[in-house]
Chain A
């Protein structure tokens, strides 16, 4: 392969003084390079359109397990040699699995970029999944589940995901379950890699004080031998609403003096046009330190240290949720305040003054989202993965400012639990029962049920 065959570099002005340089390697890997900044640290992000939603039934957690093992050995180097290659020069490499994507995030001193691109290519192309490393990783993952029992907030999040999405591909934690992970053998990550990896479903992003032409040649050289992979990502059916709305699911932790609580209902898929109006609603209801929820829960009543609402959106669907925690004795009170505030937002929407305040908040802080090279690389990857458009960065603030009160109210009516939400509580079930049973049918799980 020669650089001459590589598809021509195209420069796209995406506004805010940022130019994206795009090309495809001869092997078919789409690449985006953004030249910026002065600090000699370069961020690299490789994403593939697969993820936990592509975990085969009974193999929940496989995408995540595969990613963790990528750096534990390749055809050319063992785990120790890989760690040395990456860590000796002061680079750092993170491996992630989400529902819709897997990603390798690398930050490296600029002078070591060519060598790190070769390591990255090696991890993506020829991981060897040594038998011993698979065993160690399996044991470590299982050990992590045992340690996770002590984290009530994490238990609440896990209980929420498995309950709310039921048997949809989003319905398991990306780390899987103790039962599924315990069954993993070497053949599982090997098969996952063979099925999902290759330049076709992948995209590479480089951000930093780099010359796009020079980096282009380095990428071509490093990734020329990579080939194959499925066309398009994993197909994920849109979820049919949420499961067990109206139910109160309690994860029983008898020793706790504080309950973790979650409320959740269905929302929209990532990138849906309603997102800007929905964000205005979210900021007003439960983001930052001056939201309605913070005022009612923390400031007026001292019920909790923190309360927040959030839209968690993915390729095929999304969730709207409200999270908080309080001492066991005030759990029922906290839930009733949370529900009341969500209901008030659903019925009346935000005021005009609240809409304007949320717009200033979102627009003013927007530049911070892409301040570092790593964060810009992650945003560029999301823009590509979720089809947000090349004008995403340039137009975000205008789009937020264009939201009308009517649009925000409509979004509130649609997503602020028009149907009864699922309620999750992690705490001592028997002590909580008198406070919770009036809220809906109760279902009690143990920590083991959600791990």
Chain B
């Protein structure tokens, strides 16, 4: 089947309310369940020093009560009606989602619109949620070397851009964020004109749109969202950082500056990511894990970003491994792509896997709503997401080599190494 058929398999209907709220509906009657996603175009890139982590802390505050449903009632009502919720924050977006029994749809719209209309931000819940977020930071960063390394890497790669600080924020900032900061943040970024609803599952779009209009229609439009300035100066040579930690094995994190998501090379780098690191037969897996046996695990993180991102390699090494040798082996593989290119068969394999990956995203209501919403957020239109297989089809070995030459430039590299150190010394 051609992926072009997907719009017929899962027809998307869209609307925009007068207050600017974008609505996307993907009906499917296979099971009596629905998933609802709310995408807000705000993330840590919209922050400034002093309030880093506010996007994420705010995500927590969104569960602490509004005018109609009081503190913690959101989940109480949702779970009592056969549903579950969660949310996540990234550098570029904040996303809330619920999966629930279809008969709870009206209740969920009532809950979601209530908090967009009238969130209450009080000192007591801010105080409690701040402690919860600090524990989350201790879990994901302070007691987790991979988290520490990632934090060090961002601070190394970005000197001026807000991608410099971690999404969860610096501990000192989490401590210092005030109620007024949260209120200003809510007014600016949580208005309907900065949000998109994606609903997928067992419903009829016509009646659903009427219910959405009723639930959200009276929420006033917010101010225009301020732009983010990218003042990042050019990088003039390799940057390095070393992290000492009582680990048993060294690790390595190497990032090259990458383009922003709308750059045509973004999709080419998707293909390169698959060739290098996805699957047991990928180049780095074969070379660094199986042939040279330097690494236990290896991966490439090439996450789409609204502003210029990074193409990052992470290597968990064998205990006692020579980090320099691992680096050299990695750079040799990178050079091999830039200098000798890749085989047509590798490109075809990557395309097949990217297509399977796209299909996999479409196998659940939640997956469909999330994938299409993410494409819209990053690419500007969800239709664009549906034509990705064709777009990947136009990428050939020459383009992959050219992208590797352009982006995997040693002078644009940042390197973080984790050096094992005895805890008791």
Contacts and interface: CB of A to CB of B under 8 A. Distances in A.
B362 interface: yes
A84 interface: yes
B9 interface: yes
Interface string A34-52: 0001111100000000000
A253 B424 CA distance: 10
A153 to B, nearest CB: 8
B377 to A, nearest CB: 23
A10 interface: no
A147 B146 CA distance: 11
A305 B293 contact: no
Interface in B120-165: 127-136, 138-139, 142-146
Contact of A254 (B316, B349, B360, B424): B424
A41 B355 CA distance: 11
Contacts of B316: 143, 147
B336 interface: no
A357 B1 CA distance: 43
B356 A289 contact: no
A303 B423 contact: no
A84 B281 contact: yes
29 contacts: A40-B359, A88-B345, A89-B352, A90-B352, A92-B356, A109-B359, A136-B293, A139-B293, A143-B249, A143-B296, A147-B247, A147-B297, A150-B144, A257-B138, A258-B142, A290-B75, A290-B79, A302-B132, A303-B131, A303-B135, A304-B132, A305-B136, A305-B139, A325-B139, A326-B135, A327-B135, A367-B31, A368-B99, A372-B367
A4 interface: no
B281 A83 contact: yes
A299 interface: yes
Nearest to A363: B82
Nearest to A298: B132
Contacts of A37: 30, 363
Nearest to A111: B1
Contacts of B281: 80, 83-84, 86-87
A158 to B, nearest CB: 14
A253 B366 CA distance: 39
A88 B135 CA distance: 43
Given A84-B281, A289-B85, A364-B100, A140 B135 contact: no
Ranked nearest first, the 8 interchain pairs of A and B with the lowest CB-CB distance are A364-B82, A302-B131, A83-B281, A90-B356, A364-B101, A90-B352, A143-B296, A146-B248
Contacts of B57: none
Interface of B: 1, 9, 30-33, 63, 72, 75-76, 79-85, 99-101, 104, 127-136, 138-139, 142-146, 245-249, 251, 279-282, 286, 289-290, 293, 296-297, 316-319, 345, 348-349, 352-353, 355-357, 359-360, 362-367, 423-424
B360 A87 contact: no
B352 A41 contact: no
Contact of B286 (A80, A139, A373): A80
Contact of B352 (A40, A88, A254, A364): A88
Nearest to B316: A147
Contacts of B280: 71, 79, 83, 87
A131 interface: no
B142 A39 contact: no
A109 B364 CA distance: 16
Given A41-B363, A305-B136, A327-B135, A150 B356 contact: no
A305 B79 contact: no
A398 interface: no
- Interface of A: prevailing SS: mixed
B282, B286, B319, B424: most-surrounded residue (chain A CB, <10 A): B319
A287 to B, nearest CB: 9
Contacts of A257: 138, 142-143
B383 to A, nearest CB: 19
A374 B296 CA distance: 27
A79 B290 CA distance: 10
Contacts of A86: 281
Given A87-B349, A254-B423, A305-B139, A288 B355 contact: no
A6 to B, nearest CB: 29
Interface in A83-108: 83-84, 86-92, 107
B33 A147 contact: no
B133 to A, nearest CB: 7
A258 B356 contact: no
B9 A87 contact: no
Contacts of A87: 279-282, 349, 353
A374 B359 CA distance: 13
Interface string A178-190: 0000000000000
Contacts of A351: none
